[in-house]
Structure 1
Amino acid sequence: MLTAPHAEDLPLSLEDEKTDTMSTTAPEKRDSVVEAKTVHPRRSFTKDVVLICTVTLAMILNTANNTAVGISLPTIGRELNIIEYKLQWIISAYSLSSGCLLLFLGRLADLYSRKYTFIFGCGFMGILGLGCGFAQDEITLDVLRGLQGIGAAACIPAALGILAHNFPPSPIRSIAFATFAAGAPVGAAIGSAIGGVLTQLTDKTWRSTFWFLTGLSAVCCLGGIISIDNDFSRDMIDRRVDWLGAFLVTAGLTFIIFVLSDGSIAEDGWKTGYIIALLIVGVVLLGLFVWWEHRLEQMHERGEASLDNWWTPPPLMSVTVWTRAQGKLAVVLMIAFLEWCSFNSFTFWIQLYYQDYVGLNPILTMVRLLPMCVTGVICNLIVALVVGHVPVVFLIVIGTLFTGVANLLFAVIDPGAPFWAFGFPAAIVSVFGADFVFATGTLFVAKVCLPHEQSVGGALFQTLTQVGTAFGIAISTIVFNSSIAKSSLQYGVVVNKSGTNAPRPAQLVAYKDAMWTGCAFGFVGAILALIFLRSVGIVGHRKEPDARSDTTVNNQDAPASHA
């Protein structure tokens, strides 16, 4: 039975494999029809709770792998004799691999098994994290961190696909996605707290942090084995992998994220030859990826693809996914990019401000970041309660504005003022954007993406946040370096490459200018939401359907096509 969607509703997605009756639906009609029948597995409440806790712990682990290491960077630098401006590669190497492989590994999860992709990712993170704890030099640590990011690229999009697959549209789905989103701020706080305490109070300092995170990885693997059903579908006929598309997008993103991470510390900065060359190559490869995916998609729509031809697999990423919901998905993805530019720029610079400018030790720095954890949990509770009642535009605008305000508070900070005047309110409001955008954004992706691309949709969202993180830190670093050099000249000092000889007033100006950059990212995201998302409406669900029956009828949910 087909029904027309209500005018105020966006097209939603089936959460499981559907019948083939819609397989010939034209792409331009996919957002205008819905299918009524959805099949969901029977599950116990206890198993659902364990599942939600497991995937949330994976998100906590992923975030903590950055924040725990980030707060340990000064200690790592001293023990391994790493030059200060090269320390960021310990963070960037992880983000580089995890960001570049999200789409590819998300597609593999959709094609074969989200469960085993998730377990592999968590286990891989743990094993490589264990190795990081034994690293004895800079190169070894950087390489192991880069490999460790592959685990995150596997488990996070698989987790999003698992949630979309196991929870039909209902209040519990909103709770599941909000809880999963809460893993990011909780992971940031736990990472900072554990990283600070273990680094300062244990004999093995920063190495203890990696070993602790390895233990969390083991718990994730165990939880995945217990709570996640085998989701391998035998109904999917074409499981060919788009290896050319995977190569193009992975190589393109690798070059671009590498340039964003290394451009500011290269020998001649952004004018360095290899930086310019790799940036051009990266952009060209991404352009070729989009062209190739569009070509494959058109071939399959016209019925020209054959299982006998290895060069005509289903596309790694449907190009038309960007046009879903009349282009609103593309706007949500861009807002996620800008929000992560703003939020991660903020978290990056406040840790350096507290430790390098104010001179606090890791534990005292961690204490000043703890309000972010508490607020993060509260924000996601708010999302779970109101996402089925409040239009998404309000949540996203409020969130992005608050993240911008957090940057603004540090952009005008008075170092002599008490923590409660600037630092505390900034920590409180900073997480609103990341929590609101992640929870509502992933719910939106689950609605408009087709069942066979749930993990790819989640991977696309995660890719934009990873690239946003690298881009935000890179741009704010350019601003910081330019500002500190210019301000130091006013005091008759030519600043060195690491900036350690800059006068303190010049350092303060540079920190403030970097925060102004983060502020701009947040405010631009709010403006985009106000302009383009006013008609989106509510993305959560207010009424509990018969979600645990073997066959669930839901006239609201399913865009239309089975590929």
Structure 2
Amino acid sequence: MKKEATECVPSQPSNDEHSPTRSTAKSVCLVLTTTCAMILNVSSSTAVTIALPAIGRDLNVQEDQLQWIVSAFSLSSGCLLIFFGRLADLHGRKKAFLLGVFWSGLFALACGFTKSVIALDILRAFQGLGPAATIPASIGILAHAFPPSRARSLAFATFSAGAPIGGAVGIQIGGALTEFAPATWRAPFFLSAGLASLCFIGGCFTIDADLPSKEEDRRVDWIGATLVTTGLVLITFVLGQGELAPQGWKTPYIVVLLILGVVFIGVFIWWQYYLEHSEGHQRPPLMKLSMWSRSNGKFAAMQFIAFLEWSGFISFTFWAQLYYQDYVHLSPVKGALRMLPMAVTGLLCNFIVALVIGRLDVVVLVVIGTVFTGIACLLFAIINPTSAYWAFGFPAAITSVFGADFVFASGTLFIAKISLPHEQSLAGGLFQTLTQLGTAFGLAITTIVHNRVLRREALKLGFDTTQPLQGAPAPAQLKSYRAAQWAAFAFPIFGAVLAVVFLRGVGVVGHKEPSGKVVDVETSNGSPNEEQANSARNSHEVAKKVGGNGGSEMH
């Protein structure tokens, strides 16, 4: 049931009637604080990836036992985004942000002093809980602090820029610290602890005090949280381990865990449907399924496009780094230097987004971005090792980041615009979850392609495939790297097709000023709720009709 709010939208909106006035300097510091949190999140993952060989040497661990140092962080950070996003909306985004960065810094520091790989795996899993709380809270904080305006566009573009900066900090600075600092691989963890301290201090002084949630029923759907977290953990684990298991994807525990993961997600969807549509005193669902149909299904389309973009983008980055280090035999630092244009271009992309997001249709941004990521994958799919870096590697590094930055910035703005005030962190957490799942899915698929092609080509050249495939002939390795990039190429191109088909009519999502049009407000329990209507009206969040009238202007 919907309610029409017939009053005109005020000319100078605010996200809440009681939002405090904020100076320009404080607003800038607020954006920088949340951006620093994004830098911390990305660098905590990329710096450790570069440091894995040094960790293996120092702790006397085989290469195949090092993966969980990265995977444990990704599992805990990626699978709890929805739950922590919901808690942030209910109990305070500032609290969630501060607890998240404090937690991240504490366990980063602990990782720097550990002396065993098992302890490091466990501590990394705990460290990942920090970003799971911080990133959804950051999106909700920005959406609350900046109503639809040029300032909101700049805020989200700057926040998005934290990803390429974090990648540069992790790969470039983390690699340099690992190679040259006295603490070697421990130094990047100390760097993360320092960044977390800056985020905590900045959050204390720049983030507005939490306001009570607008929802009447603030109970937490613990059953739904358990179901979705368990399902995501199992599926993410299987995607990461399926190709590494003793019998590959036919390994019994891989098959069983995959089935269980799908069942848990299926039961979660049913449970959310039941809570949303049941009458009586059932607690509110963790995630309304009706969110996916917002804006005539464009909410779901944007989420799936993000999933596909990250499937391709992260796969490109992963296989490009392996190509430089394992095929071309460059050192980690020299390989990282060849990826440096990605960070520079990433910053420029977010600057471009800030300039054009208020003028350009979002479908144009998304299509350009995903196609450019596809071009990067294509360049490595046809790469000639004898050619200069400037022929294939450099243009691929330049074009690869367009999709990630354009889709993230425009996607988070779009989702913030069509989500209600009390859903901002949940919606942001859901968007982040889809990118995390896309990462795991893309790497799983491209790894399957790589390994199958490597084994086939090695057999053709007379190589004994019972031996480790890392020693396969160079021509076989080259074909397998190319094949992995062809598979990665398919993901962003499919995302571009989906954008053309399903995002038509969305229009401009950045800094549109209100025009006094009628707003359609979705109420939380299927009944009119004046307080929620006022809140949605004041923050210009349209739950149902954005893009639903063939390109009508977004509020």
TM-score scaled to structure 1, two decimals?
A: 0.89
| Residue 521 (structure 1) shift | 0.6
Compared CA separation, residues 190 and 496, structure 1 to 2 (3 A): farther
User: Match for 2:316 among 346, 350, 357?
Assistant: 346
Cα distance in 1, alignment partners of residues 180 and 473 from structure 2? 32
Q: Go from structure 1 to structure 2 and tell me whether the alpha carbon gap of 1:368 and 1:57 turns closer, same or farther (over 3 Å shift).
A: same
Q: 1:560 to 1:79 in 2, by over 3 A?
A: closer
Q: SS where residue 535 of structure 1 aligns?
A: coil
**1:440 counterpart (410, 426, 439):** 410
User: Could you tell me how far apart the structure 2 residues matched to 1:321 and 1:55 are?
Assistant: 25
2:9 matched to 1:36? yes
Q: Determine if contact 1:63/1:187 at 8 Å carries over to the other structure.
A: yes
Q: Deviations over 1:43-100 (max 9, x none)?
A: 1111100100000010011111111111122222222233323333222111111111
In 2, the alpha carbon distance for the partners of 1:496 and 1:149 equals 37
Alpha-carbon spacing, 1:519–1:235, altered in 2? closer, same or farther (3 Å)? closer
Q: Summarize deviations over 1:399-418 as a string: whole Å, max 9, x none.
A: 00011111111111111111
Of 256, 260, 282, which residue of structure 1 is paired with 2:239? Answer: 260
Superposition pairs of residues 61-460 of structure 1, within 5 angstroms: 61-233=40-212, 236-299=215-278, 302=279, 304-305=280-281, 312-460=282-430
* Aligned mates of 1:235, 1:471 — CA distance in 2: 36
1:199-254 deviation digits (Å, cap 9, x = unpaired): 11112211111111110011001110010011131654322110000000000000
Tell whether the 8 Å contact from 1:401 to 1:522 is kept in structure 2 after alignment. Answer: yes
Residue identity matched to 1:424: F
Compare 457-466 and 344-353 and name the one that shifted more.
344-353
Shift of 1:555: 8.5
Question: Is the CA contact (8 Å cut-off) linking 1:545 and 1:554 kept in structure 2?
Answer: no
Q: Distance in 2 between matches of 1:426 and 1:277?
A: 39
State percent identity of aligned pairs: 55
1:557 pairs with 2:540: yes
Q: Contact (CA 8 Å) 2:418, 2:543: kept in 1 or not? A: no
Write the distance in 2 (CA, Å) between the matches of 1:457 and 1:467: 15
Change (3 A) 1:163 1:556: closer
Write the letter of the residue equivalent to 1:395: L
Kindly provide the CA deviation profile for residues 390-444 of structure 1, in whole angstroms up to 9, marking residues without a partner as x.
0000000000001111111111111111111111100000000000000000001
Q: In structure 1, give the amino acid aligned to 2:501.
A: I
Q: Distance in 2 between matches of 1:155 and 1:230?
A: 16
Contiguous gaps of at least 5 residues in structure 2: 517-533, 545-555
Q: In structure 1, what residue type is equivalent to 2:478?
A: L
Structure 1, residues 110-169: CA drift from partner, whole Å, max 9, x if none?
000100100111111111111211222222221111111111100000000000011000
Amino acid at match of 1:228: I
CA distance in 1, matches of 2:51, 2:151: 37
- Contact (CA 8 Å) 1:96, 1:258: kept in 2 or not? yes
CA drift at 1:544 = 8.8
Compute the displacement of 1:533 (Å): 0.9
Q: Aligned residue pairs: how many? A: 521
The answer to whether the Cα contact below 8 Å between 2:54 and 2:178 also exists between their aligned partners in 1 is: yes
Q: Distance in 2 between matches of 1:266 and 1:33?
A: 60
Q: Bigger shift: 252-261 or 236-245?
A: 236-245
In structure 2, C-alpha distance between the alignment counterparts of 1:409 and 1:560, rounded to whole Å = 41
Contact 2:147 2:539 in 1 (8 A): no
* Corresponding position: 1:490 with 2:460: yes
CA contact (8 A) 2:415 2:427 kept: yes
Provide the rounded CA distance (Å) in 1 between the counterparts of 2:466 and 2:74.
27
Displacement of 1:554 after TM fit? Answer: 7.1
Contact 2:148/2:511 (CA < 8 Å) preserved in 1?
yes
Amino acid at match of 1:164: A
Instruction: Determine which structure has greater relative contact order: mean sequence separation of CA pairs < 8 Å that are 6+ residues apart, divided by chain length.
Output: 1
The 3-state SS of whatever aligns with 1:500 is helix
In structure 1, what residue type is equivalent to 2:479?
A: V
2:9/2:514 contact within 8 Å kept: no
Q: 1:46 to 1:552 in 2, by over 3 A?
A: farther
Once the two structures are superposed, what CA deviation does each residue of 1:257-284 show, in whole Å capped at 9, x if it has no partner?
0000111111111000010000000001
Supply the distance in 2 between the matched residues of 1:83 and 1:511 (Cα, whole angstroms).
23
Give 1:456 shift.
0.3
CA contact (8 A) 1:197 1:362 kept: no
Q: Distance in 2 between matches of 1:149 and 1:557?
A: 33
- Sort the Cα spacing of 1:126 and 1:35 in 2 relative to 1 into closer, same or farther, 3 A: farther
Instruction: After superposing the two structures, state which structure 1 stretch, 108-117 or 87-96, moved more.
Output: 87-96
Instruction: Please show how residues 459-498 of structure 1 align to structure 2 within 5 Å.
Output: 459-496=429-466, 498=468
Task: Verify the 8 A CA contact 1:484 1:495 in the aligned structure 2.
Answer: no
Q: CA deviation at 1:446?
A: 0.3
Distance 2:539 2:90 in 1: 26
Aligned partner letter, 1:36: V
Change in CA separation of 1:552 and 1:468 when aligned onto 2, cut-off 3 Å: closer
Give the letter for the 2:454 counterpart: I
Mapped contact 1:89–1:261 kept (Cα < 8 A): no
- Given the superposition, is the C-alpha separation of residues 105 and 556 from structure 1 closer, same or farther in structure 2, using an over 3 Å criterion? closer
Q: Deviation of residue 545 (structure 1)?
A: 9.7
Please give the alpha-carbon distance, in whole angstroms, between the structure 2 residues aligned to 1:355 and 1:221.
Answer: 36
- Is the Cα contact below 8 Å between 1:35 and 1:557 reproduced in 2? no
SS of 2:469's partner is: coil
What is the root-mean-square deviation in Å for CA atoms of aligned residues? 2.1
Offset at residue 473 of structure 1 (A): 0.7
Partner of 1:45: 24
